[in-house]
Structure 1
Amino acid sequence: MKHYLFIAFLCASLLGFSQNPTRTFESVDFKNNVLEIKVNDGTYKITPYSKSIVETTFIPSGESFNANSHAVVLKPESLPSELIKTDTSFELKTEGISVQIQKQPFQISYIYKGKPIISEELGYVKNDSLETIQFNLTNDEILYGGGARALGMNRRGYRLELYNRAHYGYETHSELMNYSMPIVMSSNKYMVHFDNAPIGFLDLDSKKDNTLTYETISGRKTYQVVVGDSWTELIDNYTDLTGKQPMPPRWALGNFSSRFGYHSQKEVKQTVQKFRDEQIPLDAIIIDIFWFGKDIQGHMGNLEFLKDSFPNPTQMIKDLKSDNVNTILVTEPFVLTTSKRWQEAVDNDVLAKDSIGNPFTFDFYFGNTGLIDIYNPKGKTWFWNIYKGLADMGVTGIWGDLGEPEVHPSKLLHATGTANEVHNIYGHDWAGLIAEGYKTDFSNQRPFILMRAGSSGSQRYGMIPWSGDVNRTWGGLQSQPEIALQMGMQGLGYMHSDLGGFAGNVQDPELYTRWLQYGVFQPIYRPHAQEDVPAEPIFWDDKTKALAKKSIELRYKLLPYNYNLSFQNHKEGTPLMRPLFFEDDSDPLAIVASTYFWGADFLIAPILIPNSTDKEIYFPKNNNWFDFYTLKKFEGGQTVSVKVVEGHIPTFVRGGALIPMAKPMQSTKEYYGNTFELHYYYDASVKESKGQLYNDDGLTAEAFEKGNYELLKFESEVGKKKIELEFDAEIGNRFQSQIKKVDLIIHNVKSKPKSVKIKRKKINFTYNEALTTVSIPFDWSTSEELEININLN
Structure 2
Amino acid sequence: MTHTTIARLVLCLLASPLAFAQNADRQLQGATRKQNTLELATSDGRYLIKPYSADVVETTFIPNGESFDAASHAVVLAPADVGATLKDEGARLVYATSGITVVVDKQPFRISYLYKGKPLVAEKRGYGRSADLETIEFALENGEALYGAGARATGMNRRGKRFQLYNKADYGYGATSTLLNYTMPLALSSKKYAIHFDNPQTGWLDFDSRKDGTLRYEVIGGRKTYQVVAGDSWDGVMANYTALTGRQPLPPRWAFGNFASRFGYKSEAQTREVVDRFIAEKIPLDAVVLDLYWFGKTVKDTMGNLAWDRDTFPNAEKMMADLKAKGVKTIVITEPFVLTTSRRWQEASQQPGVLATDKDGKPATFDFYFGNTGLVDLYTSQGRDWFWNIYKGLKQGGVSGWWGDLGEPEVHPFWVRHGGNKSADQVHNIYGHDWARLIAEGYKKDYPNERPFILMRAGYSGSQRFGMIPWSGDVSRGWGGLQSQMEISLQMGMQGLAYMHSDLGGFAGAVLDDELYVRWLQYGVFQPVFRPHAQDDVAPEPVFRAERTKVLAREAVWLRYAMLPYNYTLAFDNSSTGMPLMRPVLFEEDEATAMSSTYLWGRDFLVAPIVEPGATRKEVHFPGKGSSWFDFHTGEKHHGGITEVVKPEEANIPVYVRAGAFVPMAKVVQSTRDYSTRHIDLHYYHDAGVTGSEGKMYDDDGETADAYGKGKYEIVRFASRHADGKLEIRFSTETGKAQAPQERGFALKVHNVQARPRGVTVDGKAVRFVWNDKHKLLEVPVAARKQPSSTVVVTL
CA distance in 1, matches of 2:668, 2:248: 29
Between stretches 773-782 and 737-746, larger displacement belongs to 773-782
Matched with 2:515 is 510
TM-score by length of 1: 0.99
Between stretches 483-492 and 58-67, larger displacement belongs to 58-67
**Alpha-carbon displacement from aligned partner over 1:57-91 (angstroms, at most 9, x marks no partner):** 00111111111000000001121111110221111
| SS of equivalent to 1:680 | strand
Matched with 2:574 is 569
| SS of equivalent to 2:15 | helix
TM-aligned CA deviation for residue 128 of structure 1:
1.2
Between stretches 263-272 and 731-740, larger displacement belongs to 731-740
Q: Is 2:28 aligned against 1:29?
A: no
Between stretches 364-373 and 172-181, larger displacement belongs to 172-181
- The answer on whether the counterparts of 2:36 and 2:80 sit within 8 Å (CA) in structure 1 is no
Q: In structure 1, give the amino acid aligned to 2:481.
A: G
Matched with 1:708 is 712
**Alpha-carbon displacement from aligned partner over 1:623-681 (angstroms, at most 9, x marks no partner):** 11111111010111111111111000001111111100001211111113222110011
Matched with 2:145 is 142
Matched with 1:548 is 553
Matched with 2:15 is 13
CA distance in 2, matches of 1:123, 1:640: 45
- The answer on whether the counterparts of 2:140 and 2:215 sit within 8 Å (CA) in structure 1 is yes
- Name which of 599, 605, 609 aligns with 1:606: 609
CA distance in 1, matches of 2:208, 2:259: 41
Q: In structure 2, give the amino acid aligned to 1:526.
A: R
Q: In structure 1, give the amino acid aligned to 2:704.
A: T
Question: 1:622-637 to 2 correspondence within 5 Å?
Answer: 622-637=626-641
CA distance in 2, matches of 1:737, 1:151: 49
Matched with 1:381 is 385
- The answer on whether the counterparts of 1:708 and 1:733 sit within 8 Å (CA) in structure 2 is yes
**Alpha-carbon displacement from aligned partner over 1:111-131 (angstroms, at most 9, x marks no partner):** 111111111111111221011
Q: Is 2:747 aligned against 1:743?
A: yes
| SS of equivalent to 2:147 | strand
CA distance in 1, matches of 2:38, 2:677: 51
Question: 1:689-700 to 2 correspondence within 5 Å?
Answer: 689-700=693-704
Question: 1:140-219 to 2 correspondence within 5 Å?
Answer: 140-219=143-222
**Alpha-carbon displacement from aligned partner over 1:331-353 (angstroms, at most 9, x marks no partner):** 00000000000000012220000
Q: In structure 2, give the amino acid aligned to 1:657.
A: A
CA distance in 2, matches of 1:178, 1:562: 26
CA distance in 2, matches of 1:686, 1:340: 65
Q: In structure 2, give the amino acid aligned to 1:136.
A: A
- Name which of 490, 493, 500 aligns with 1:488: 493
**Alpha-carbon displacement from aligned partner over 1:14-61 (angstroms, at most 9, x marks no partner):** 213231101011110012121000001110000011110000000111
TM-aligned CA deviation for residue 3 of structure 1:
4.2
- The answer on whether the counterparts of 1:432 and 1:461 sit within 8 Å (CA) in structure 2 is yes
- The answer on whether the counterparts of 1:780 and 1:786 sit within 8 Å (CA) in structure 2 is no
TM-aligned CA deviation for residue 758 of structure 1:
1.6
TM-aligned CA deviation for residue 13 of structure 1:
2.8
CA distance in 2, matches of 1:790, 1:677: 17
Question: 1:247-258 to 2 correspondence within 5 Å?
Answer: 247-258=250-261
Q: In structure 2, give the amino acid aligned to 1:363.
A: D
Q: In structure 2, give the amino acid aligned to 1:268.
A: T
**Alpha-carbon displacement from aligned partner over 1:206-226 (angstroms, at most 9, x marks no partner):** 111101111111111000000
- The answer on whether the counterparts of 2:585 and 2:600 sit within 8 Å (CA) in structure 1 is yes
**Alpha-carbon displacement from aligned partner over 1:252-274 (angstroms, at most 9, x marks no partner):** 00000000000000000000000
| SS of equivalent to 2:276 | helix
TM-aligned CA deviation for residue 780 of structure 1:
4.3
TM-score by length of 2: 0.98
Q: In structure 2, give the amino acid aligned to 1:599.
A: G
- Name which of 384, 407, 410 aligns with 1:406: 410
Q: In structure 2, give the amino acid aligned to 1:655.
A: A
Distance 1:655 1:33, change over 3 A: same
TM-aligned CA deviation for residue 6 of structure 1:
3.5
Q: Is 2:228 aligned against 1:228?
A: no
Q: Is 2:613 aligned against 1:646?
A: no
- The answer on whether the counterparts of 1:18 and 1:136 sit within 8 Å (CA) in structure 2 is no
Q: In structure 1, give the amino acid aligned to 2:9.
A: I
Matched with 2:680 is 676
Q: In structure 2, give the amino acid aligned to 1:676.
A: I
CA distance in 2, matches of 1:677, 1:217: 56
CA distance in 2, matches of 1:573, 1:460: 10
Question: 1:436-515 to 2 correspondence within 5 Å?
Answer: 436-515=441-520
CA distance in 2, matches of 1:70, 1:474: 37
Matched with 1:125 is 128
CA distance in 1, matches of 2:394, 2:6: 62
- The answer on whether the counterparts of 2:455 and 2:471 sit within 8 Å (CA) in structure 1 is yes
- The answer on whether the counterparts of 2:762 and 2:782 sit within 8 Å (CA) in structure 1 is no
Matched with 1:434 is 439
Q: Is 2:668 aligned against 1:664?
A: yes
Q: In structure 1, give the amino acid aligned to 2:482.
A: L
| SS of equivalent to 1:590 | coil
TM-aligned CA deviation for residue 750 of structure 1:
2.0
- The answer on whether the counterparts of 1:167 and 1:178 sit within 8 Å (CA) in structure 2 is yes
TM-aligned CA deviation for residue 753 of structure 1:
1.6
CA distance in 2, matches of 1:187, 1:551: 34
- The answer on whether the counterparts of 2:50 and 2:58 sit within 8 Å (CA) in structure 1 is yes
Q: In structure 2, give the amino acid aligned to 1:216.
A: V
**Alpha-carbon displacement from aligned partner over 1:545-577 (angstroms, at most 9, x marks no partner):** 000000000000000000000000000000000
CA distance in 2, matches of 1:343, 1:540: 44
Matched with 1:334 is 337
| SS of equivalent to 1:168 | coil
Q: In structure 2, give the amino acid aligned to 1:215.
A: E
CA distance in 1, matches of 2:574, 2:788: 28
CA distance in 1, matches of 2:480, 2:788: 53
Matched with 1:297 is 300
TM-aligned CA deviation for residue 2 of structure 1:
5.2
Q: In structure 1, give the amino acid aligned to 2:114.
A: I
- The answer on whether the counterparts of 1:672 and 1:697 sit within 8 Å (CA) in structure 2 is no
Matched with 2:274 is 271
- The answer on whether the counterparts of 2:21 and 2:109 sit within 8 Å (CA) in structure 1 is no
CA distance in 2, matches of 1:532, 1:496: 22
- Name which of 353, 365, 368 aligns with 1:361: 365
- Name which of 576, 584, 606 aligns with 1:579: 584
Q: Is 2:45 aligned against 1:42?
A: yes
- The answer on whether the counterparts of 1:739 and 1:779 sit within 8 Å (CA) in structure 2 is no
* Identity level (%): 55
CA distance in 2, matches of 1:681, 1:203: 44
| SS of equivalent to 2:548 | helix
| SS of equivalent to 1:591 | coil
Q: Is 2:77 aligned against 1:74?
A: yes
Q: In structure 2, give the amino acid aligned to 1:12.
A: L
Matched with 2:726 is 722
| SS of equivalent to 2:572 | helix
| SS of equivalent to 2:664 | strand
TM-aligned CA deviation for residue 536 of structure 1:
0.3
- The answer on whether the counterparts of 2:744 and 2:788 sit within 8 Å (CA) in structure 1 is no
| SS of equivalent to 1:459 | helix
| SS of equivalent to 2:689 | coil
CA distance in 2, matches of 1:561, 1:67: 41
CA distance in 1, matches of 2:215, 2:224: 15
CA distance in 2, matches of 1:625, 1:9: 43
CA distance in 2, matches of 1:630, 1:86: 63
